[in-house]
A and B are shown apart, each in its own frame.
Chain A
Amino acid sequence: MIDVQLMGLLNATLQAATLLFIAALGELITEKSGILNLGVEGMISVGAVSGFITAINTESLFLAVIVGVLSASAFSSIHAFVTVVLKQDQTVSGLILTILGLSLSSLIGKPYVGKKLEVKLTSLIDIAEPSNIFQVLLNQNLIFYIAILLMIFTAYILKKTMFGRRIEAIGEDLKSADSMGLKIAKTQFIATCVGGAFAGLSGVYLTLSYVPYWTDGMTSGRGWIALALVIFGGWKPYRTAFGALLFGFLEALGPRLQTYGFEMSPYIVKITPYIITILVLVFLTIIKNGNTGAPKNIGIPFFRENR
C-alpha cells in the first residue's frame, strides 16, 4: 500500500516536472543567446489555450500539439521582433508579453471554459496503479519522452555543434561574435522563437494531460518557476532537469502531506511551492556568491556602433 502511494507521488512528480522542465529548457536556449524573455508565463498560456481549442474542435491530438507549439512560438516572435530587431528593453517587453499572453488566452479561451476534452494525451501503457519505478516511467505520456529527448538533444546541440557554440558566443561575447561574422540578430531571433515553441509544448502538456480542461490563469505562476529553474540549473540542461524534478516533487508533495499525517491548511499547502522556490533561489545565489553563471550579455541589446 505504501508502495502504491509512493509510486503515486513519483508519478505526480514526473508530471509536474515535465511541465516545468520543457518551459525552462526553452528559456535556457533563449537566454543562452543573450535574450531574456520574461514572457514564459504568457507563452505557456497561449500554447495551452490554442492546443486545447484545437483538441476540442478537431479531436486530433497531433494537430493540437502542433498548433499549441506553433502559436506560442509565433507569439514569442513579438518579443524577438521588439528586442532583437528594434533593440528595446527586454525586461519591459517580456513582462508585457506575459500580460498580453494571459489576457489574450483568456479572451479566446472564454467560450471553452468548463468544456470537457473528448481526447486526452494518455500514457503509452496504461497502468492503473504502478507498483515500481519502471512501471511509473512507462506510465507517462508521449510528451514526457519528448522532454527527455529534448534535454539530450539540447545539451548536445549547445555543447557539441557549431550552432550551439555560436549561440554561446553571442550570449557571452557580442563583440567577438560580431567580428567572427556571426549572424547575431538571426540567431537570437531563432533562439527566442525556439524558447516560445518549448513553452508552447509545456502549455499543451498542461491542458491536454496535466489538468485536461481550460480555465483563466491556470498556468498559476509556472512560467515564473520555470524562469527560476533556469537560474537554479546554472544555464545547463541536465542540472535544470534535476531542478525540475526537485520542484516537481515539491508541487506533488503538497497535496499529499495530509495523507502522511501532516495537518496543514490546503490554502497554505498551495503557496508552499512559491515559498520554496524563493528560498531555493536565495540559498543558491548565496552559495554561488551572486555568480550564478548567467550568460554575460543577457538583457543587453546588440548594436553595432557607426563605423
Chain B
Amino acid sequence: MNKYILSKKLYRNELATFYSFLIGFLIALAVGSLILFIQEKNPFDVFSLMLKLSIGSVNSLSNSLNKAIPLILAGLGISIINSVKLWNIGAEGQIFMGAIALNFVYINTSINNSQIYILLLLVSGFLGGAFCILFPAITKVLFGVNEIITTLLTNYIVFGLTIYLINGAWKDPASLNFPAAAYVNESVYLPTVLGKLSSGFLICILFTLIAYYIKDKSVFGYEMRIAGGSELTAIYAGISAKQKAFFAMLIGGGFAGLAGAIELLSQTHRVSTGISQGFGYTAIIVAAITGMRPIGIFLVGCLFGALTIGGSVIQTIGVSSYIAEIIQATTLFGALIAQFFFSYEILKKDEND
C-alpha cells in the first residue's frame, strides 16, 4: 500500500541534539524574521541591534549573563527531576517561593557577618523552592497524582501569595503605588565580579557542575535513571523508585528556589512581581532543548539570557519584546522537527515485500 516506510535509525549521531538545536535556532530566526517583516521592520537591523545590545559590551554581556542565571538554575532543576521521568512545570512558582523564603528569613533574623548572612539567605531560598514542590512531590509518590498539573497550578498559588504579601503584611510604605516589599540591606547584596556581572553567576557555574555530578556521575543519579527507566528493573536492583523521585523533586525545586534567592540579592533587592518574568517557563525550553544535559543547559541558558536582554532592548525601536520569547519557543519546535530526521529514516519499500 504505502511505497515508503519509516524506520528507526540503528545508530543515532552523538551530536544529534546539538545539530538539532542549531537547525531549530535557524528555523526560529527565520520565523522571527518573517514576523518582523510582516511588522514592517528590517529583520537584519533588529537582529544586529539585539546582538550589539546583548553581547556588544562588557556591560550588556554581563546583563545577559545575569539574566541567564535563573534560566540555568531552574533548567538544571527541571533536568534533575526529569532524571526520574517526571516534569516540573512549577519552576516559576519555586523561583518566587525562593525569594519569599529568603525575605521571611531576612525579616526574622539578624546576623552581623554579611558573608554568613548571605549564605544563610541563599540556603533559605533553596529550601523555599524545595518546600514549594513538597506537596506535588508527596502526592506524586504516595498517590500518583499527575505532577504536571499540580506543579503548574502551584505557580498561580505562589504568585497569588506573592501579591498578597507585597500588598499586605510586607508592603513597603515607601513603595507608594507600586506594591513591593521593603528593600534588603545593601550589606547582603551579592557582590559583582566583572562589570555588572553578579557573583551569582559563579554560584550558577558551581551548581551546573553539581547538577552534572548528581545526574551523570553519582550513585544517586544512576539510581534515579533506573528508577525513571523501568519500574521492574528498579525493584530487582533494590532501588526505591518513590524515594528517588521524591528527593529528585525536592532538589530540583531547590535549584529553582535558589534562582529566586539570587535574583532577589543581585537584581531586584526586594520581593516584587519582578522577581521572575517567566524564567521558570523559559527554563523548560532550555532544559528540553538540550536533552536535559547540565552543560548544555548552561550554554543554552547563556544564549537565551542574551536573547531575553536583546528582546527587552529592541522595545526602544518599537519592536515587541515577545519576539525573543517566540524565537525561544520556535527554536524548540524546530529542534523537535530536526530530531525526527536524526532518529528516523524514510526507506523505500521493496516491491517484493
Contacts and interface: CB of A to CB of B under 8 A. Distances in A.
Bound together: yes
Nearest to B138: A282
Interface residues of A, number: 44
A15 B316 CA distance: 40
A88 B143 contact: no
Contacts of B153: 221, 224-225, 228, 274, 277-278
B134 to A, nearest CB: 13
Given A96-B329, A303-B8, A227 B285 contact: no
A184 to B, nearest CB: 12
A78 B329 CA distance: 12
Contact of A286 (B143, B164, B281, B323): B143
A274 B156 contact: yes
A281 B149 contact: yes
Interface in A76-110: 78, 82, 86-89, 91-93, 95-96, 99-100, 103-104, 106-107, 110
Interface in A247-289: 265, 267-268, 270-271, 274-275, 277-278, 281-282, 285-286
Nearest to B288: A92
B285 A96 contact: yes
Given A99-B329, A306-B5, A306-B7, A268 B160 contact: yes
Contacts of A228: 149, 153
Given A82-B333, A106-B322, A270 B150 contact: no
A268 B169 CA distance: 13
A304 B6 contact: yes
A65 B77 CA distance: 41
A282 B156 contact: no
B156 A92 contact: no
B337 A82 contact: yes
A179 interface: no
Given A93-B336, A100-B333, 11 more contacts: A82-B337, A88-B340, A103-B329, A224-B149, A224-B153, A225-B153, A228-B153, A274-B153, A274-B157, A278-B135, A281-B150
8 contacts: A82-B333, A93-B333, A96-B284, A103-B322, A221-B155, A268-B160, A271-B160, A281-B150
The 10 A-B residue pairs with the shortest CB-CB distance in the complex, in nearest-first order:
A271-B160, A103-B325, A267-B164, A100-B329, A290-B144, A86-B340, A107-B322, A88-B336, A274-B156, A285-B145
